[in-house]
Amino acid sequence: MLTSVVGYPRIGADRELKFASEKYFRGEISEEELLKVAKELRTVHLNSQKDAGIDYISSNDFSFYDCLLDTAVLINIIPKRYKELGLSDLDTYYSMARGYQGDKGDVKALAMKKWFNTNYHYIVPELEDDTKINLVGTKIFDEYEEAKSNGVETKPVIIGAYTLLSLCRYTGAKNREDYINDVISAYQGVIAELDKRGAKWIQFDEPSFVRDLNESDIEFIKRLYQAILSEKGNAKVLVQTYFGDVRDVYDTIVNLDFDAVGLDFIEGKQTVSLVENYGFPKDKILFAGLVNGKNIWKNHYSKTLDVLDKLKAEGIEVVLSSSCSLLHVPYTLSAEGKLSSEYKRYFSFAVEKLVELREIADIAESGDRASFASYKANEDLFVKGRDSENKEVKKRVSEIKGSDYERLPKRSEREKIQKEKLNLPAFPTTTIGSFPQTKDVKNNRSLFRKGEISEEQYNEFNRDKIKRVIEWQESIGIDVLVHGEYERNDMVEYFGESLDGYLFTKKAWVQSYGTRCVKPPIIWGDVSRKKPITVEWSKYAQSLTDKPVKGMLTGPVTILNWSFPREDISIKESMTQIALAIRDEVLDLEANGIKVIQIDEAALREKLPLRKSDWYSEYLDFAIPAFRLVHSGVKAETQIHTHMCYSEFTDIIPAIDNMDADVITFEASRSNLEILDSLKECNFETEVGPGVYDIHSPRVPSVEEITVALKKMREKVNDDKLWVNPDCGLKTRGEAETKSSLINLVEAAKLIRKEA
Ligand code: GLN
Ligand code: ZN
């Protein structure tokens, strides 16, 4: 049985691509040097798959920033404002991804959004009315040739035409219909060119096929692919879907002229029944995504083999595949010296998943499971079970009452009480929590980790940073201060480290966007809080000022969504356990004099099912209560904030309001402000801080620009509910740009106060 990998991590085992790119951004290395690093990484990644015996290996799954942006650029979807900068190709690309501020001009980056239900973010391509889509790039061809010259015949991959058109923003009057012909010729061009170069397979990634699709979507898909595939030559085409099942288009796609169809058997709840009920054509190959590309637990071989055996029995030609790109898991377990093998044997990262693919395919091929030592070892793991239970936690969860989810008095009354107690000016200014994690901050942490400084020295440094940042915020006139989060490496790992039931890795980085990677901790067992986590830092920060300093916590939904979850208990149960732990922290902060507490839910939307019909029953009905459980015990005068890193919640506004926070801050500067209209329509009760500038880019917003944004916001939000803040935490930014930006922000708030 042959094996396939949908895509491979590209950042490098040691995040080489991240560091090289950042050096390039800072002007420390040349374009040539950056390209060299990239090429070396591609070769390493290719060889690792080849050596593991993978048969279908992707090329062009590499990206300097994001694969959707690569696809857009390949076919000339480049907005004028970026072209007009007159930069090199690579810098034009980066200007779209990161914005540009320099002697050639000043443009913001394109919007960035979460990639389906993952923590990966893609750049949203923009289609302008006069965008002329045509094949102008060569990246996919170059990387195919490069792999070939390294002795690997690959399947070049590109985001499919439907997913591309579904994820683009249409800035003018045109819609997808207006671009269909040009898109068809561009994709035909890609096929023709690859064919000419001798490619045997081409992979079109179409994750949008797993969403809810209506009649006109299905019609559109048919027209698109009938045309694109009509010009097929010798190269075969694999349509690769992932992140769910394709229930709305199963019939459609198996009847189109694809040579192979990739289906997700992990997240696709109906995949097995679709194949069973509708059958699978004998002249096509089924790429069965049975090895989880998103989680890090070992595959349960016997279960996977059961599915493979069934497919084989039906006479289907099967290739065993990862369920999606391995981009969403860390690179290799072998870098995890810190984790004992007692734990490690339950896990499998990208490199180890290659081994799983090979082993399972070989066992499936032979049909004689018992003769494989790898099979027996795997079965042992699952038969014995793991030691992960904490009886006290289980008991506490079972004793939760309905009233534990209700905060009293109701929000409108709390609002009055809080206005009086906190006595803030109109349009209060605040930030989202973190301040720049500058070299000295990281260095301090790393010295401490290496044991080169004592805990007291480590803490002293952070206290000094906190003191300075409190003084600085006071000096420029911010109203609700933060302590800067210097003691945190990451908003989830930091909490995980203080909770029982968590495991940590050293190098298990996963790309989040561009050069940003996160290191999700692993939920191993039942979760509980050993001791207060943030209280000392918050108490210290508050002792330095009369202004309120926000206590800063990460909420249970985000902690869960940004961890690798267990597969042996439900998400709901894990989330409730975490909620109880954070609830204890909230109450401790309050008891220690903290008047404003922010509970970040940056990832609330992330695990929202891709199909609307599942939203409440499979997610929101327990995620929102988990958040309420965290803060329902505080006094009326304690102000609860929450924060989200995006503004796409138009469709779940009632659920967001139902979190029952007093204030919510969210991303708004990269997107348009339609969200505010929707909030008004829904009578949104929570006070709001729509971010007035974009922190994902180094550019400094002017006072004027922020004032204009605030004026627009005032048209849509009542003055007594509007806060002024950046988009998100400032940890990834430099110090100078942060200071200038915040000074301008406070200035703009003052101007608006005069006007109001
Ligand atoms: N409080 C966090 C910070 O400021 C929030 C980060 C986030 O939303 N991603 O860093
Ligand atoms: Zn954020």
Per residue in 435-475, pLDDT tens?
999 999 999 999 999 999 999 999 999 999 999 999 999 99
| H, E, C per residue of 633-669 | CCCCCCEEEEEECCCCCHHHHHHHHCCCCCEEEECCC
Mutate to test the pocket of ligand 1, among 534, 728, 730 (most ligand atoms within 8 A of CB): 728
Together in a domain, 199 and 301: yes
Q: Are residues 178 and 283 in the same domain?
A: yes
Residue nearest to atom 3 of ligand 1 (CA): 729
| C-alpha–C-alpha distance, residues 212 and 199, integer Å | 33
Q: Is 534 in the pocket of ligand 1 (CB under 6 A)?
A: no
pLDDT at 197: 97
Task: Report the b/e string of 405-442 with b at 16+ CB within 10 A.
Answer: bebeeebeebbeebeeebebeebbbbbbbbbbbbeebe
User: What per-residue confidence (pLDDT) applies to 155?
Assistant: 98
Ligand nearest to the Cα of 695, by number: 2
Reported residue count of the chain is 756
Count of domains observed in the chain: 2
Question: For residue 448, is it within any domain?
Answer: no
Determine which residue's CA is closest to atom 4 belonging to ligand 1: 729
> Nearest 5°: phi and psi at 704?
-55, -50
For residue 530, what are the domain limits?
430-437+473-755
pLDDT recorded at residue 670: 67
- Residue whose Cα lies nearest atom 5 of ligand 1: it is 729
Q: Which among 41, 58, 114, 517 has a CA at the least distance from the CA of 325? A: 58
Name the domain boundary from 319, 350, 384. Answer: 384
**Ligand 1 centroid, distance to 600 Cα (angstroms):** 7
* Residue 702, in any domain of the structure: yes
376 and 491 together in one domain? no
Atom of ligand 1 nearest to the CA of 729: 4
Q: Is residue 658 assigned to a domain? A: yes
Task: State whether the beta carbon of 644 lies less than 6 angstroms from ligand 1.
Answer: no
Last residue of a domain, one of 318, 351, 384: 384
Tell me: do 343 and 483 sit in the same domain. Answer: no
Considering only CA atoms, which of 619, 507, 505, 515 is closest in space to residue 563?
505
Q: Which one of 485, 517, 554 would you pick to mutate in the ligand 1 pocket, going by the greatest count of ligand atoms within 8 A of its CB?
A: 485
Report how far ligand 1's centroid is from the alpha carbon of 642 (Å).
Answer: 10
Kindly state whether residue 114 falls inside one of the protein's structural domains: yes
Establish whether residue 713 lines the binding site of ligand 1, counting it when its CB lies within 6 angstroms of any ligand atom: no
Asked if residue 451 is part of any domain, the answer here is: no
Are 9 and 110 contained in the same domain? Answer: yes
Distances in whole angstroms, Cα of residue 346 to Cα of each of 196, 388, 505: 45, 13, 14
* Residue located nearest, by CA, to atom 10 of ligand 1: 729
pLDDT less than 70: residues of the chain: 670-671
| Contact 433 CB / ligand 1 (< 6 Å) | yes
Q: Judging by beta carbons within 10 Å of its beta carbon (0-12, 13-18, 19+), is residue 245 exposed, middle or buried?
A: buried
Q: Domain for residue 389, yes or no?
A: no
Token readout for 721 is 């509910």
Among all bound ligands, the one having the nearest atom to the CA of 738 is 1
Residue 231 is predicted with a pLDDT of 87
696 is annotated as an active-site residue: yes
Residue 643 CA: nearest ligand 1 atom is 8
Q: Are residues 247 and 355 in the same domain?
A: yes
- Centre of ligand 1 to C-alpha 744, Å, is 21
Q: Name the residue of 114, 119, 432 to mutate for ligand 1: max ligand atoms within 8 A of Cβ.
A: 432
Same-domain pairing of 378 and 493: no
- Specify the residue with its C-alpha closest to ligand 1, atom 6: 729
476 CA → ligand 2 middle, Å = 23
Ligand 1 atom closest to 431 (CA): 4
Judgement on whether residues 534 and 657 belong to the same structural domain of the protein: yes
What's the CA-to-centroid distance between 150 and ligand 2, angstroms? 41
C-alpha to C-alpha distance for 238 and 56, rounded to whole angstroms: 11
- Please indicate, yes or no, whether residues 199 and 92 belong to a single structural domain of this protein: yes
Kindly state if the Cβ of 434 falls inside 6 Å of ligand 1.
yes
At position 275, the amino acid (one-letter code) is V
Ligand 1: does its nearest atom lie under 6 Å from the Cβ of 485?
A: yes
647: in domain: yes
Please report, for the domain that includes residue 540, its CATH number: 3.20.20.210
Regarding whether 229 and 118 lie in a shared domain, the answer is yes
Q: Identify whether 58 is part of a domain.
A: yes
